[in-house]
Amino acid sequence: MKPFLFDGYYFTIALANLTGHIPSHRIRNWVYRHIFRIQLAKDATLYGLCRFWMPWRIKIGSHSVLGDRLFLDGRNGITIGNNVSIGSETRIFTLQHDIDSPTFDTKGGLVVIGDNVYVGSRVMILPDVIIGEGAVLASGAVVTKDVDEWTVVGGVPARFIRARPKMKYQIQHRRAIFQ
């Protein structure tokens, strides 16, 4: 059995996680795009200290801003749309253990986040969930099911709070030099 650090897959994941410590977002995002093959739009920003599983299965659209200390589990794929804002310390899972399986097998699916979505800080999104366009996930929500377009959800588990007006949103974001 190979030691942990010399296994190519786990070594790659370790390097992707260490990349989050690079203090310049321009350099860090370049490494994410070109070394770890995250499909990160040129005008999108992924802030520091993020951790990953299979970053090469993650796609992030234009004008999207992802906060610091995220966990992105790309094993079954994550697609994040355009003009999405995701707060700090959010966790997105695409695979989990099946607690009803006698062998504790895994199950999961793709997570899709539509355009113009706002995800508050410390939100947890579980596998096989689709977040509709314009939805808002309140801080601390645990999203276990699909979220309809232009709605606000929150709580544990996340439940409908109210409808949101349909309009064109544009994230006004000024990147800090070192963040």
Known catalytic residues are 97
Q: How is 127-164 classified by DSSP, letter by letter?
A: SS-EEPTT-EE-TT-EE-S-B-TTEEEETTTTEEEEE-
Q: List the structure tokens of 66.
A: 């992802």
Residue 95: partners with Cβ closer than 8 Å, 6 or more residues away: 53, 73, 75, 76, 106, 107, 108, 127
User: Which SS3 state, helix, strand or coil, does residue 45 take?
Assistant: strand
